[in-house]
């Protein structure tokens, strides 16, 4: 991949195996993004992976059991690492009130279950840029 290729770290929060994340990652790869996966759900591990992989963006799939507090911790750790330029999106299962709360924390967009890959990729092409 070229130096101008946007690197997206894909992670999940909550319980359950989510095969859709791999299909989504494949669609993003085909669209020209570089995709890195992590299956570890710990906020510290997600931020550490973003640092190690020089990620430009973090995309999080929310599954049952995902918590607003996990997002708060991710943003706290990004700030501590002086990486607030790394933006975070999320999508999947989440209550309306929790979506509002994570957006207040810093999630730039939440995509509800049912959003198409084309919609996600189109949004990403217009809103995600290289951070370094």
Across the range 4-29, mean pLDDT stands at 87
pLDDT computed for residue 132 by the predictor: 67
The DSSP code sequence of the chain is --TT--EEEEEEESSS--THHHHHHHHHHHTT-EEEE-----HHHHHHHHHHTT-SEEEEEE-TT--HHHHHHHHHHHHHTT-TTSEEEEEES--HHHHHHHHHHT--EEEETT--HHHHHHHHHHH-----
What is the structure's pLDDT at 50? Answer: 95
The pLDDT value recorded for residue 1 is 47
Q: Does the pLDDT value for residue 38 go beyond 60?
A: yes
Give tens-digit pLDDT for 45-61.
999 999 999 999 999 99
- On whether the 12-125 domain is CATH 3.40.50.280, my answer is yes
Q: What per-residue confidence (pLDDT) applies to 113?
A: 87
| 100-129 pLDDT tens trace | 999 999 999 999 988 999 999 999 999 998
């Amino acid at each position: 991949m070229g130096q101008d290729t946007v690197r997206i770290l894909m992670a999940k929060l909550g319980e359950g195996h989510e095969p859709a994340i791999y299909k989504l990652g494949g669609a993003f790869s085909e669209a020209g993004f570089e995709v890195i996966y992590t299956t570890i759900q710990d906020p510290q591990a997600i931020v550490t992976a973003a640092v190690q992989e020089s990620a430009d963006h973090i995309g999080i799939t929310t599954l049952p059991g995902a918590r607003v507090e996990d997002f708060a911790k991710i943003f706290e750790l990004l700030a501590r690492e002086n990486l607030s330029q790394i933006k975070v999106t999320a999508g999947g299962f989440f209550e309306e009130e929790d979506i509002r709360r994570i957006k207040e924390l810093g999630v730039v967009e939440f995509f509800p279950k049912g959003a198409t890959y084309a919609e996600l990729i189109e949004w990403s092409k217009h809103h995600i840029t290289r951070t370094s």
